[in-house]
Homo-oligomer: A and B are copies of this chain.
Amino acid sequence: MSDILLNVHVVIFSLYQDALQVLLTPCSDPGFADCWELPGEPVQEDESLEDAAGRALSGRIDRREVYLEQLYTYGEPDWYPRFRIISVVYFALIPAGARRLSRPEHERWYPVNALPHLAFDHAGVIAYALRRLRYKLEYSAAGFQLLPDEFSLSELQHTYEIILGEELDKRNFRRRILQAGIIEDTPYLRSGEGRPARLYRYRLDAVAEVKARRLFP
């Protein structure tokens, strides 16, 4: 036990420039020069795992605006060379506009389909997080976690299209999202080019996960 290190790592997703991006930091391990890795922190003796994940976010992002969910715990003895490390991995969705970097000299956002060389098995971890995110979108409405508090339906649809990697029908998308009852309209409009768009917000009283059609309803 005493020689097992316990870490958390966080896959931090954000939308930026029409792409889903992940925050990476240069790998500190000397065996992985010119590699990148997921932000992580050792777990302190008196903090919860989620707090440790919050620390990995903090300085980078205001933790309160962030959706955070545990992804998986990796603990193969050979996952890291030289050390036995257990890593509890979380994934985070941070809303567009909250992308503040306190250490821009080190860290970088990378689009998920153009990742640099990654240390350890972090490429596999990101791939799994992405699979889970896509899956979440399909049976819930997690997409707005990547948008500001208020957003138009077109922005939400665009978010879904970026993450799922496919085009969606506008009318069907709107009907379904509204029928699910997870967002509500606001009195506000966003002006830009063309006709202004009505803004919507997440309904705090909505259940988090909308069950899609089940195999045995």
Contacts and interface: CB of A to CB of B under 8 A. Distances in A.
A63 to B, nearest CB: 17
Contacts of A212: 212-215
B77 A47 contact: yes
A88 interface: yes
A48 B4 CA distance: 11
A49 B70 contact: no
Chain A, interface residues (CB within 8 Å), range: 35 or more
B77 A4 contact: no
Contact of A73 (B73, B210, B213): B73
A88 B70 contact: no
Given A1-B5, A1-B45, A45-B84, A216 B138 contact: yes
Given A73-B49, A73-B73, A75-B88, A215 B176 contact: yes
